[in-house]
Structure 1
Amino acid sequence: MKKDPCILILYSSFGEGHIQASLAIQKQLASIGVLKVHLVDLLAEAHPVWNAFSRFCYISSMSRFPSLYGYLYSRTNRITPDETYSKLIHRIGKGKLKETIERIKPDAVVHTFPFLGMEILKDEEGYTIPTFTVMTDFVLHARWLHEHTDRYFVATEALKQEMLAAGIGGSRITVTGIPIREAFEKPQSKEKLFRKHGLNPHSKFALIAAGAFGVLADVEWMTNEALRITEYEIIIVCGRNQKLRDHLSAIFREEPRVRILGYVDYVEELMAVSSCMLTKAGGLTLSEALSLSLPVIVYRPIPGQEQGNAEMLSALGTVRIANSPEELTKELLRMQEEPNRYRIREAMQALYRPGAARSIADEVIRMMEQSELPIPVLPLRVSRKAVRVHGYR
């Protein structure tokens, strides 16, 4: 390995998953002696006002206008990398990125969000820096694809097959799983966790995780329904949504079976003591559940990548989807039965790939050490039929 190599990781704060994936890779690189790792939220640094506005629109559309978000997601999924709109998207922050490249002189660039600015620089400026893309969902979207990406790291073999159909050469795709925090892969004593969090070890717990921004819909109704038809005690994690936390705290103030929390950095501990989880279908969240073999119910998945994630994992037997209150009631009742949970846990164990962040770090270093990348740059054959569109009906 080159002495004191430098790696640039480009992410976005549009979703917690992109940040967590980047941090997981950074930590694994540090563990093998690569300490010069720069994490850059490119859009936030290049266009802070536009980033704040776009982020607000993103969160609002997912929670208030999910059909609109799904429509935009599906429309952009039909755009090929060489079309004008695609080039405009990937050029966002190009100037800032070029300045960063010239300043820190990275030996490799890793994308964990589909603003593929480095690919544009390779095309227009002639850079030869190895470029990697870590896909943080279980389904394909056209914005992840670019002919100048040297290596893709993807969640499952099924996703690799989608990419092959879109014209990506198999030698450019490595199935690693989605990188998650190391804490999810360390053995934990449930007895110690019960004591640490003041939980009754004889009770069963359902975890409702509203997401980092607390945008999961119908949390109050889900909680009431779980209390009504199951024996579960309920742990609710509201993320950074203080309004949701305050509202639920007022509603369930006198309910001993409900515990309400805000944003926590120990969610793996809460997941480890839970029997099931109701949550959004973010790629990182579902990967974390897979790592702990924690059965998941996704209620009314948001159109777009989250619906795609849910449908893909549901087809593999690792996630249950409830699209209506009646279906949620049915799934909650099913989750009380150990044989059903056992089948889901078995499917999760079969699908999960441990050590994704380490696999990615090792592969990045291996390719950096090569004098030439033995990967031909070929034009993509992305078409409207090649990339599966999820979530918009």
Structure 2
Amino acid sequence: MKVLVLSCNTGGGHNAAGRAILEGFLRRDVQCEMRDALSFASERVSKVVSDAYIRTVTVAPKLFGWCYRAGGAISSARRKSPVYLGNMMYARALGAYVEENRIDAVVMPHLFPAETLTHYKRRFGLRARTYLVSTDYVCCPFFEETEVDRFFIPHAALVPEFVRRGIPREKLTVTGIPVSARYARHTPKAEARERLALPERGNLLLVMTGSMGFGHVDRLVDAILPILEPEDHVAVLGGNNEILKKRLRETFAWDARVQVLDFTERVDLFMDAADLLFTKPGGLTTTEAAVKGIPLIHTHPIPGCETLNMEFFGELGMSVSADTPEGLARLAQDLLRRPEKRAAMIQRQRENVPANAADAICEFVLREAGEI
């Protein structure tokens, strides 16, 4: 059996989900590869689209939020959206690759390739089965204009929303959001800190900015410092945003309790080392944190899916959030002082966020293909 995982480089979350699925198939000795869907248009198109997305959400997040709301308003299974029309343009190239390589199943943690293969399937037919993986705790705009064989969604509570948007209930399977298996493994806190050369004593507050370094992190760290005890520390994972990291290092050079770190592949180990996590409410990072089981404080979201992710987690008691850096710091202080509240939050995460979503997706696909 041959499986193709298709993602896009619009943020790190979709690719992280894709890699988790890829890992799951490879562990089962299934022939599987992962590709950037937009590269079938061209590498230049992929870079232009990805760069435009990153610039919009970093420079003009309110504009991005407006576009998201507008997309939700016009999204309909009865007409083709601009997103659908744009992704039609490389349908022949992607469809031909799937057919010529005799791909049996295409798993997509991103809307764009699902739109593309929907168009190809309508025009030419498609032998491969297709699966769309939701990487946010919401039915995103334009999902309903795709014709895939199955939607893998994060939580049973979201089924009514997907159905209201026009997706047949019989096509929905609740699996959770796929994350790497390393988030389900737990390293003792002392060992994790030793491996990362972090201070052995005191509370460690981890601040994540996302793969591209979003957020008003300097204001947040400034608000956190007054609540810290002398032995406590703040570690900021600055992603790939070199300007942000330089500014933070200059701003907090006077306080040895603040460490600003570069992009890392060891986020799971940092979570093991930490006592609290501050992160924007991206679907993947939030899920990784919940699978790891760490008290979670959501920072300012990118308007759109992240706002809804934050609301979903908050309503189920899996995270807390506030509108200001000072409010976020007060929440951290409260959690640090109340171990029973931290324990209750972690329990709610365990009850609502499965650690084995990638395995569930792989096994479903293989079962449908008669491989297990």
TM-score over 0.5 (shorter chain): yes
Contact 1:180–1:284 under 8 Å retained in 2: yes
Equivalent residue number for residue 83 of structure 1: 79
Q: Which moved more, 1:326-335 or 1:244-253?
A: 326-335
After superposition, residues 228-267 of structure 1 pair within 5 angstroms as: 228-231=226-229, 232-267=232-267
TM-score after normalising by structure 1? 0.88
The correspondence for 1:104, drawn from 73, 94, 101, is: 101
Equivalent residue number for residue 47 of structure 1: 42
Contact 1:301–1:323 under 8 Å retained in 2: no
Deviations 1:224-281 (A, max 9, x none): 2111123341000001111211221222223221111110010101111111111111
Equivalent residue number for residue 56 of structure 2: 61
Deviation at 1:294, TM superposition (A): 1.1
Q: Which moved more, 1:283-292 or 1:118-127?
A: 118-127
Give the AA of the match of 1:58.
Y
Equivalent residue number for residue 368 of structure 1: 369
The correspondence for 1:226, drawn from 224, 227, 232, is: 224
After superposition, residues 102-141 of structure 1 pair within 5 angstroms as: 102-115=99-112, 116=114, 117-141=116-140
Equivalent residue number for residue 290 of structure 1: 290
Deviation at 1:23, TM superposition (A): 1.0
Equivalent residue number for residue 375 of structure 1: none
Contact 1:206–1:235 under 8 Å retained in 2: yes
Equivalent residue number for residue 390 of structure 1: none
- Identical aligned pairs, as a percentage? 26
Is there any run of 5+ residues in structure 2 with no aligned partner, and where?
Answer: none
Contact 2:77–2:166 under 8 Å retained in 1: no
Structure having greater relative contact order (Cα 8 Å, sep ≥ 6) = 1
| 2:43 is the counterpart of 1:37 | no
Change (3 A) 1:87 1:267: closer
Give the AA of the match of 2:293.
S
After superposition, residues 180-329 of structure 1 pair within 5 angstroms as: 180-215=179-214, 217-231=215-229, 232-329=232-329
Equivalent residue number for residue 350 of structure 1: 351
Q: Which has the higher helix share?
A: 2
After superposition, residues 7-26 of structure 1 pair within 5 angstroms as: 7-26=3-22
Deviations 1:87-113 (A, max 9, x none): 314414212202312331201111110
Q: Which moved more, 1:89-98 or 1:184-193?
A: 89-98
Contact 1:61–1:68 under 8 Å retained in 2: yes
Equivalent residue number for residue 389 of structure 1: none
CA RMSD of aligned residues (A): 1.7
Partners of 1:72 and 1:358 lie apart in 2 by 34
Equivalent residue number for residue 94 of structure 1: 91
Partners of 1:341 and 1:62 lie apart in 2 by 31
Partners of 2:19 and 2:283 lie apart in 1 by 15
Partners of 2:186 and 2:149 lie apart in 1 by 35
Contact 2:77–2:145 under 8 Å retained in 1: yes
Deviation at 1:299, TM superposition (A): 2.0
Contact 1:234–1:259 under 8 Å retained in 2: yes
Contact 2:277–2:295 under 8 Å retained in 1: yes
TM-score after normalising by structure 2? 0.93
Is there any run of 5+ residues in structure 1 with no aligned partner, and where?
Answer: 371-393
